[in-house]
Amino acid sequence: MTFDVVPVPAEIRPVPHESFQARSCPVGLDEITMSLADGAGPGLVDEGYRLKVSREGIALTAKTEAGLFYGVQTLQQLVSPDGVVPGCEIVDYPRYAHRGAMLDVARHFFSPAEVKRYIDQLAQYKINVLHLHLTDDQGWRLDIRSWPKLATIGGATQVGGGPGGFYTQDEYRDIVAHAASKHITVVPEIDIPGHVNAALVAYPELTCDGVAPPPFTATGTATGFSSLCTDKEITYQFVDDILGEVAALTPGEYLHIGTDETHATSEEGALKFVSRVLPMIAKHGKKAMGWHEILKATPDAVAQFWSKNEPDDLVRTAAASGTRILLSPANKVYLDMKYTPQTPIGFTWAGYLEVRDVYDWDPGTYLPEDAIHGVEAPLWSEHLRGRDDLDFMAFPRIPAIAELAWSPYSARDWEDFARRLAAHGPRWTAQGIRFYRSPQIPWAV
């Protein structure tokens, strides 16, 4: 067992004893004792932590660095604005190992600084996966050295007609490293064989007739109209090159290959495509993840369920035979849905999603617990014109989703959550987060 005494986080100030408050105890120390300990008692699983706050000080124990990190995030939520932490002893650990958020940087580009800012926001709520939707019809956002026009030509468009943009491999590495410093793993998504108009504009030889499609126009948000040519050998060289470069940039286990809405790919072509691409992912040392349509082709990938209806037979059968399902149902956790009919931006195709609609969902009602890989909240960016729009759609829904992915359903309590969430409003304001002031939350004034 090793003991490390670390400086207290800036948010936690020692308080004089006279500020003792009901049901709280003053922290008379300017240090927290943190220890990494194996077998430190019951309940301490990999990402779990034990937090003890008493008059003697604050002690945090965990099996892993991640556990200590989560303990600190909790502590920062417990501390009151005047620096008092309630006395407590808790053992806390997550329900799901994958607690994700997805950001679509393809429809609208987000700069590395904006992505890192989102990472910082997510980390405060113990989210541990950032899925980056890096490519779509409207733009290709990652430099691929073996196919350079993907970024330079494919990256130059976006919804609304702005300049678009892309990440150099160094910038991307920096995003991944920043995420890792907050115990967040980046899952890169290259969406194939559909959603590829930007790639086809850059490399027309990837179309079946060799003719470049019209480039994306500023107003287009249609889906399902483009496809790689599954009959051409060059397609597989292209995919293998890309997956090789992306795998080399990825410390995490998974590569996400999309496979959603392949309406412009023949059924036979889509099957052939997936059966050729899966071995490439394995060859590059990674495991496959795809949107749930991938189950039509293979059970050997983590399938991300995104329907607005409950899981259908295909998903249930796969889950029953051992396929892991990542739950992102659109009518429960899609952050691009409007909150109410008055919400100025967003889609409505999966309904309206107020904070409470999100909070009240129990993933366990969808599938058996052992088939659930985790929960992930996608934020598609057709309607997002910058960081304020991102903030507005993510907050306050992302903390609700983070809680449902972390805490058992039995521990959830809407009234208590609404009260706790209300206290975060001033913090978000201090952090420059332009959140939606949901009337469901008794925001502190």
* Per CB under 6 A, 261 contacts ligand TNX: yes
253 among known catalytic residues: no
With contacts defined by CB under 6 A, how many residues of the chain interact with ligand TNX?
A: 10
The Cα angle at residue 385 between residues 380 and 386, in degrees rounded to 5: 95
Chain center to CA of 239: 24
Nearer to ligand TNX, 85 or 350 (CB): 350
Site map 315..334 versus ligand TNX, x via CB under 6 A? -------------------x
Least spacing, CB of residue 194 vs ligand TNX, in Å:
9
**Which tokens in the block code for residue 168?**
């150099």
Distance (Å, rounded) from C-alpha 73 to C-alpha 125? 7
What track of x and - describes contact with ligand TNX for positions 284 through 303 (by CB under 6 A)?
Answer: -------x------------
- Candidates 173, 215, 247, 347; binder of ligand TNX (CB under 6 A) is 347
435 belongs to the binding site for ligand TNX (CB under 6 A) = no
Nearer to ligand TNX, 189 or 240 (CB): 189
* 260 near ligand TNX, judged by CB under 6 A: yes
Q: Which of 223, 343, 431, 440 binds ligand TNX (CB under 6 A)?
A: 223
Nearer to ligand TNX, 135 or 323 (CB): 135
Q: Is residue 76 at the binding interface for ligand TNX, with CB under 6 A as the rule?
A: no
Out of 92, 143, 189, 336, name the contact with ligand TNX by CB under 6 A.
336
Shortest gap between Cβ of 306 and ligand TNX (angstroms)? 4
Our CB check for ligand TNX shows the closer of 359 and 380 to be 380
Among 380, 395, 435, 436, contact with ligand TNX (rule: CB under 6 A): 380
Q: Which of 261, 268, 369, 376 is catalytic?
A: 261
Whole-angstrom distance, CA of residue 332 vs CA of residue 215: 34
Q: Which of 135/235 has CB closer to ligand TNX? A: 135
Is 160 a residue that touches ligand TNX (CB under 6 A)? no
What are the catalytic residues?
Answer: 261
| Binding interface with ligand TNX (CB under 6 A) | 223, 260-261, 291, 306, 334, 336, 347, 380, 382
